[in-house]
A = this chain, B = another copy of it.
């Protein structure tokens, strides 16, 4: 637990809504708000082990969803491709800036960069 926060946050972003309300609440406090197991336990008046069980179960459900669907992996692969698009658009922008100063080309490269950025959200 908490050794792979980035991965767990991605899994939660994709599949979090399939969890129960309690699983979501504890998972969110632990991974997104960075509370400790003991702090969550104290706030809810239950044992530290009880909190841990809920979060481990939630991690298991999210991990199983990803193992089956591979959707987070697919999305991360798309990010790499989006970065190639950004890199190419940036180079066109620079060439245009140095050689042609065509305002329409400038606009179009900005459109590509803005669109690519929004795809990564």
Contacts and interface: CB of A to CB of B under 8 A. Distances in A.
Interface of A: 14-15, 17-18, 65, 68-71, 78, 81-82, 84-85, 88-89, 91-92, 95, 99-100, 102, 104-105, 108-109, 111-112, 115-116, 118-119
A34 B104 CA distance: 48
Nearest to A72: B71
Contacts of A14: 69, 71
B108 A92 contact: yes
Given A81-B119, A119-B81, A92 B69 contact: no
Contacts of A115: 81-82, 84-85, 88
A92 B68 contact: no
22 contacts: A14-B69, A15-B69, A18-B68, A78-B119, A82-B119, A84-B111, A84-B115, A85-B85, A85-B111, A85-B112, A85-B116, A88-B108, A88-B111, A89-B89, A91-B104, A91-B108, A92-B108, A92-B109, A95-B102, A95-B104, A99-B100, A99-B102
A95 B78 CA distance: 28
8 A-B pairs with least C-beta separation = A17-B68, A88-B108, A88-B111, A81-B115, A85-B115, A88-B112, A84-B115, A92-B108
